[in-house]
Amino acid sequence: MTPTRKQAIIRRVKDITLGTTLSLALLNGSALLQSCSSNNDDEYSESEEGRKTESFKKGVRTFITETAPGTFKITDEQQVGPERAGAVVNYFDGHRDTLSVAAAQALVKSDSSTSRYFNNPSSYGQHHGNGLANVLLWGGLGYMIGRQFSGGSSFDRDRRYSQGAYSNPSVYARSSQIGQDVSRSRVVTSRPRSSRGGFFSRGRSGGFSS
Amino acid sequence: MIHLKSLSTPPDAQLHNIGWDWMLGTDTLPYLANEVVMVSEADVDAYYNAANELFEMYVAAAQHVIDRNRFAELGIPENLIDMIRLSWDDDRNIHLYGRFDLAMTDKGVKLIEFNADTATCLPETAVVQFAHLRANELDESLQFNAVYETLVGQFRYLREQNAGLDASLLLSTMRDEEGNGIPEDEANVALLAEAAREAGFDTAIAYIDTVEFSAEEGIYRQDAFSGRYVRYDYWFKLIPWEYIAEEEPDLCALLTQAVQNSRIMVLNPAYTLLFQSKYILKILWELYPNHPLLLRTEAEPLTGEPSVEKVLFGREGANVRILEASGQVRQEADGDYGDYPKIYQQYATFPTDSAGHTYQAGVFYAGEPCGLGFRRGGIILDNGAQFVGHVVEG
């Protein structure tokens, strides 16, 4: 059973640490979201013995080119150590920029073409753009910035979006392999042994709020 | 008497920043009140202490049900009993969170019920009322609200207690009959996912009908990027246990085996259905008769005093009838749960505001009492009840 942890629970609102993403966005607006994964407990798992968590022991470095003003494509992806993960962006005007995973995540979360999908994949159904946030979300880095999938009937659509983020099919095929390596220990290629799915596929009117 | 404070600036900008605009949609706008309840520090202490004491009483009551094999009285489906015992006997099965519904009466705090399995109102309590304060620059005010950080703590504690599992969490809701998600459910799991992510979990959200279950290998979702299957060792379901047991017995059997094989951790654990069944209110009254936090509850209509008839697994005020001392029906709400057996709970008078609305306190419990919010409505609080935040008076 859950032991009861007693502590002074009432505190001044300004002391509430609502948690990284939520509090930063609430208190300061999205500008400060860049730091949002720094408060994350990823290192927590690796500091403990016997923990098998694959908290990104491998990372992805994505090379992105702005092929026409406002249109971005992934031209290459490499598997790197997590400390080198991120995106290298070559802009149409010739300048180059490097984005950390946290910065990429912040952009995906705040950009209007991706924020909705990121926060609630199942509600996605609107504009699917060619912008930078779009390729960050749908490319191999999406794994590291917390992309979620709506799955099911959206599966083919989601894969199409992923393919669309790459400059050509061979880059996509190569990158798919990297994505799998990043979280390999929990990934299998075929349907799990004697597994079943499709439960509750008839749905239900109304939720289970209580 | 409930005293309200008007907070004229809605938290639109704050909510927009975190992508929670859905809260401001046409369906939900009336659901957010533009005022907050003024709560005294003494009342906050009373709510906090009540939730602490009640949780211990619930644990004792559940132990009693298990020891005396009283599952049938609680309406527990037979095919869930194995999993309930398994989860109860293994301390790694931590109750993630629930919400006590309480009434502040002239005789102190009274327990209405405990939403232990699939409690909602998390975003409203944890985020919206906080954002509402911020929008009105009330940062010096007090609020009994550490829901989010306490959830993060619970997820960390889960990891510590389950070293054999990967810190990977899949969260599932159901779709409606048209195949669409239910925004309120999805917002609740989104908040849980955020808390879990901060505690170091790899998280994903998937509708239950897209999830693959294997007794030997665990729980998987298909990854759209690769087409491969990704395993998740923790699964949170915003789907009631009794509904799984009754509607999808094969899934119930698969989950039982997977839990038995220590492949997965399901949240909330199966034993929370013991807390969720309203028959536990009668068990509590048996074990703690006349306890100051309890309302008398019996399996038959109460004689000589007004009472509330509830179905064992009703939700959001559905299938509730308020009975006069004579047994006459004063008010009733219909719903989908009418087939379940019923219990009768002594009628408690909720506090009201000057407009006559009634207020029910919701106290979240996640290893400890961690936050307060209010629902207001008529005599029966149904799914049209508004959420109202609070400010603690200094």
Phi-psi region of B108 (alpha: psi -120 to 50; beta: other; left: phi over 0): left
Residue A6 has what pLDDT?
A: 35
Q: Any bridge partners for residue B389, and if so which?
A: B36
B146 touches chain A (CB under 8 A): yes
Pick B372 or A59 by higher pLDDT.
B372
The segment with the largest mean pLDDT, out of A15-24, A65-74, B219-228, B237-246, is B237-246
Q: What is the DSSP letter of B128?
A: I
- Residues in A closer than 8 angstroms to B180, CB to CB, are 122
Query: Is the CB of A13 less than 8 angstroms away from the CB of B138?
Result: yes
Say if residue B39 is exposed, middle or buried (CB neighbours under 10 Å; 0-12, 13-18, 19+): buried
Has residue A31 got a pLDDT over 80? no
Residue A77 has what pLDDT?
A: 85
pLDDT in tens, B190-231: 889 888 988 889 888 889 998 999 998 899 988 765 677 889
Has residue A33 got a pLDDT over 70? no
Query: Picking from A116-125, A134-143, B57-66, B352-361, which range would have the lowest pLDDT averaged per residue?
Result: A116-125
Q: Residue A189: closest CA among chain B residues belongs to which residue?
A: B228
Has residue A41 got a pLDDT over 80? no
Give the residue ranges of chain B where pLDDT is below 50.
25-26, 28-29, 140
Cα→Cα distances A2→B75, B91, B145, Å: 24, 7, 20
Q: pTM for this one? A: 0.74
pLDDT band, residue A32 (cuts 50/70/90): very low
Query: Picking from A63-67, A97-101, A116-120, which range would have the lowest pLDDT averaged per residue?
Result: A116-120
Pick A72 or A183 by higher pLDDT.
A72
Query: Is the CB of B153 less than 8 angstroms away from the CB of A25?
Result: no
pLDDT in tens, A148-160: 655 445 556 667 7
CB distance B192 to B227 below 8 Å: no
Residue in B353, B222, B228, B85 with CA at minimum distance from that of residue A154: B222
Say if residue B194 is exposed, middle or buried (CB neighbours under 10 Å; 0-12, 13-18, 19+): buried
Name the minimum distance, in Å, from the CA of A15 to any CA of chain B.
9
Mean pLDDT of chain A: 66
Name the minimum distance, in Å, from the CA of A62 to any CA of chain B.
15
Q: Which of B39, B176, B210, B386 to mutate to test the interface with A (most CBs of A within 10 A)?
A: B210
Residue A157 has what pLDDT?
A: 65
**Domain ranges across chain B:** 4-295+348-393, 296-347
Name the minimum distance, in Å, from the CA of A202 to any CA of chain B.
6
